Amino acid sequence: MFVKKSFSGGVEVPHFKNTENIQTEKIGVPDEVIIPMQQHSGAPCKPTVKEGEPVKVGQVIGISESFISAPIHSSVSGTVADISSMIFPDGRYVATVVIKADGKQDIHEDVKPPICTNKEEFIEAVKNSGLVGLGGAGFPAHVKLNPPKDKNIDTLIINAAECEPFITSDYREIMENSADIMDGIDAVTKFIGVSNVIIGIEDNKPEAISLLKKLAAGKKGIDVKALRTRYPQGAEKMLIYALTGRKVPPGKLPMDVGVIVMNITSVGFVGRYLKDGMPLIKKRVTVDGSAVNRPSNVEALIGTKLSDVFDFCGGFKTEPFKIIMGGPMMGIAQYTLDAPVMKYTNALLAFDKTFGNVPPETACIRCGRCYRACPVNLMPLHINRAALVEDMDALHKYHTMDCIECGCCAYSCPARIPLVQSIRLGKTLIKKAQAKAKKDESQKDVKS
């Protein structure tokens, strides 16, 4: 079935799906892995291992008491060489566990298929697996799969849109691991109690659509829907609207309209995990861009340095000018090749100067293209101005927190104004003000 309904705004982007027909290759075990204690939305984990301690594959090395968090596991066997911290590209310091690999890849005794006979055991198993949204969002899966009881969930949407240019890691999951995807869908529907499943996929992936349709044909309640190829079709709110006609109101979540959205690689992981019990220790990553010698899809152990990944792909054919983790629209520019592959890394792109250089910013010409491109009907120019002068009233008035950071406004701007950066700054200002207000309130309570 082809879905004509679509969201307003958005942009046509070139696809550059150069690696879609390239089979995933496994990168070997690196000499050492750097494993950050935050690879998810929510609270960071604290290391549970000490320097000098031996570790095995699949062993828990970081946990958090917080509900919104996900445990972190070792991807290699070896010895903990260092517990330190690294600076993320957004300026945060994050604790890391550095492990010298012994190359043996001994598996920890806790790694075994989980026993799931009911919803509670299934949710616990998903939590223990360390699964977070593998489409790039990194939201802990056990939280998403366990909405409050008053939310009446009737639809599971599997997000196979993969709308960002270059990235083909979800596409390869479909072509290489379709049986795991179907097993994962079976498990989620059985334990969460959802009978209506829709797989949403952009219509620029005909082979994957026909494969999924063939597999879904023998199953009850699974519909595969081809969507118009338009960025950001894979954003949750846009996807839900295109597939169900339901609008997620500002400030609300998919569960508020009865929907859970899971990325297709995440659901494939669930299918595998229930069979082998191996937690999330590796990730398929698309490696591409004008500076890369051999564009590829690779399976890298979590914590593998970016330099090791690019070396595996033949290194650089020209000096890289910009390195991005994720897609060119929403990805994050990296400042060092010593950064590691993380759970949510779906692409590593390296561009030379011709491709990656953005001409200097000029003055706004008030063309309104940024408004028209915004899929959530915001006014990016006004948010930009409010953030730069720290006008808190205006930041609230223009609904800054509703921005999904898709980048459509900046992509459309002829003046090349870095709108997303300033919108992120605006969000940080709001969060800081909220945290301060909360702290002031609790101090008032203590005094009274």
Residues contributing to the site for ligand SF4 (CB under 6 A)? 364-370, 373-374, 376, 378, 380-381, 403-409, 412-415, 417, 419-420, 423
Smallest gap from Cβ 90 to ligand SF4, in A, equals 16
**Is cis: bond before 232, omega within 30 of 0?**
yes
CA atoms within 13 A on the CB side of 56: 7
Smallest gap from Cβ 397 to ligand SF4, in A, equals 14
Give CA–CA dist 376/400, Å, rounded: 11
Give CA–CA dist 159/179, Å, rounded: 16
67-97 b/e (C-beta count within 10 Å ≥ 16 → b): eebbbbbbbbbbbbbebeebebeeeeeebbb
Smallest gap from Cβ 173 to ligand SF4, in A, equals 26
Smallest gap from Cβ 405 to ligand SF4, in A, equals 5
Nearer to ligand SF4, 252 or 317 (CB): 252
Nearer to ligand SF4, 74 or 400 (CB): 400
Give CA–CA dist 244/285, Å, rounded: 30
Nearer to ligand SF4, 68 or 367 (CB): 367
The encoded tokens of residue 420 equal 């997303």
Nearer to ligand SF4, 243 or 370 (CB): 370
Q: How many CB atoms lie within 10 A of CB 104?
A: 12
Beta-strand pair 60-63/259-263: unpaired
Question: Would you list the DSSP string of 296-342?
Answer: EEEEEETT-BHHHHHHHTT-BSS--SEEEES-TTT-EE-S-TTPBP-
Smallest gap from Cβ 264 to ligand SF4, in A, equals 23
Give CA–CA dist 85/96, Å, rounded: 5
Smallest gap from Cβ 228 to ligand SF4, in A, equals 18
Smallest gap from Cβ 237 to ligand SF4, in A, equals 10
Determine which helix (DSSP H) or strand (DSSP E) holds 260, and give its type and residue range: strand 259-263
